[in-house]
Amino acid sequence: MSRHIIEAVQAWQPELAAIRQDIHAHPELGMEEVRTAGLVARHLREWGVEVTEGVGQLGVVGTIRGTRPGNRTIGLRADMDALPIPEQTGLPYASKNPGVMHACGHDGHTTMLLGAARWLSENRDFAGTVHLIFQPAEEGRGGARAMLADGLFERFPCDAIYGLHNAPRRPAGHFAIRPGPTMAAADRFTVIFRGTGGHGGYTPHLATDITIVQAHFVLALQTIIGRNVAAKDAAVLSVGAISAGNHIGANVMPAELTISGTARSYTPAVRDLLERRIGELAHGLAAAHGCTAEVEYRRGVPATVNHPEQTKVAYAAAAAVVGAAAVDPNPDPSTGAEDFALMLEQRPGAFMSIGGGAPDGSSPALHTPLFDFNDATIPLGVAYWASLVAQELGNPEG
Ligand SMILES: [Zn+2]
Ligand SMILES: [Zn+2]
């Protein structure tokens, strides 16, 4: 990658950082990104990019056509939404929207893709078309699904699709990407146990006690991980909530108890296994104690699986920016989830991680009230996108 791209983009850093901080100060939850989507569309137009708004409600797609002949098309995707977290950074550009915060760095993702739009619009010496996909509602509110349902890939055909996420635990200046599963499927289970309840002091022997059932169930859940999931595979089951009875009437055995939690996995086979075994254990343990169970297993986003060919392309693009030594080709998969996975189910592509943290690993983690996207990495993200287009569409500048 020629030096001049990085130098040119570096010169835009103050302007791009100001855009990032403006987005940071005005965070919006998923499917409420009216201001953010408007800001994106305005900048794209200002930089001469063809804009389509309202894709999947609030999604924005910018389209840039190369000046050289070519039919290949690629999609570059960023997310725009914030989280329901009260910000505690005390920064001058901290959230002005109480209780809502850009704690996952999507303000940075949006800005880096905007920077790429500006660069590509001014430097169109490539063969093919780039669609810049600004997605709403990544954080569990169905943004990718909404854009896909609105015909994203029919209206904006993409031969390959790429995403990028910041990683505060990885040092700034470094990238990481692995082929295959890189983030997990995130599902939710809810089990309602029902028994007779009764007087906990006077007639417990006449009751069917769901608190005993849930105690066995919570312990048995981890036997799915230890005894059903093969050692070579990985999965997580965690209980997040248990509710029944009340602490005032503590001598009353409850007749109904609800327990729910999260299930993470990397392959369809393990995902199916988790769903089946949770149901078997809930029903089996309930039956053993004369109770019943109602089980719901709700599938969220699937695992994020990088395609091997596009992973190589993405790796080369990052290596061209920071040097191969600063691109980790084998990072551990994360048990977090990402709805870009849904796009990767439909098109080949890859999801890159860009470091943003302090070298000693002290930077606040994603989804915490002290997190802030690292503006110094904006030019690297922009250069990565430019480099990726060069790799994919043969820009001689690459
Ligand atoms: Zn997040
Ligand atoms: Zn995120």
Which residues have a Cβ under 8 Å from the Cβ of 319 and sit 6 or more positions away?
326, 327
352 phi and psi, to 5 degrees? -95, 150
Cβ atoms 287, 127 nearer than 8 A:
no
The pLDDT assigned to 397 comes to 44
Render each residue's pLDDT in the chain as its tens digit; 398 residues. 566 788 889 999 999 999 999 999 999 999 999 999 999 999 999 999 999 999 999 999 999 999 999 999 999 999 999 999 999 999 999 999 999 999 999 999 999 999 999 999 999 999 999 999 999 999 999 999 999 999 999 999 999 999 999 999 999 999 999 999 999 999 999 999 999 999 999 999 999 999 999 999 999 999 999 999 999 999 999 999 999 999 999 999 999 999 999 999 999 999 999 999 999 999 999 999 999 999 999 999 999 999 999 999 999 999 999 999 999 999 999 999 999 999 999 999 999 999 999 999 999 999 999 999 999 999 999 999 999 999 999 854 44
Between the CA of 340 and the centroid of ligand 2 the distance, in Å, is 10
Nearest residue to 52 via CA among 43, 37, 44, 62: 62
CB 292 within 8 A of CB 280: no
pLDDT of 3 reads: 66
Model-level pTM? 0.94
| Residues ≥6 apart with Cβ < 8 Å to 69 | 127
Q: Which ligand is nearest to the CA of 108?
A: 2
Ligand 2 centre to CA of 164 (Å) is: 9
C-alpha 9 to ligand 2 mean position (Å):
24
Q: Residues 32, 81, 107, 338: which is the catalytic one?
A: 81
**Placement of tokens 């230890």 in the chain:** 226
Residues 6+ apart with CB under 8 A from 325: none
Q: What is the whole-number distance in angstroms between the Cα of residue 105 and the centre of ligand 1? A: 8
For the segment 59-90, what is each residue's pLDDT rounded down to a tens digit?
999 999 999 999 999 999 999 999 999 999 99
Nearest to 131 by CA among 394, 355, 398, 388: 388
Distance 211 CA to ligand 1 centre (A): 34
Q: How far is the CA of 41 from the centre of ligand 2 (A)?
A: 21
Q: Which ligand is nearest to the CA of 77?
A: 2
252 bridge partner residues: 199
* 138 labelled catalytic: yes
Contact status, residue 150 vs residue 336, Cβ threshold 8 Å: no
3-state secondary structure of 386: helix
Indicate the DSSP class of residue 169. Answer: E
Report pLDDT for 394.
Answer: 87
Residues around ion ligand 2, judged by CB within 5 A, are 104
Q: Which two tokens stand for residue 193?
A: 């146990």
Question: Is 339 considered catalytic here?
Answer: no
Catalytic residue (choose from 32, 33, 107, 138): 138
Nearest ligand to the C-alpha atom of residue 79: 2
Q: 366: CA distance to ligand 1 center in Å?
A: 7
Distance 319 CA to ligand 2 centre (A): 23
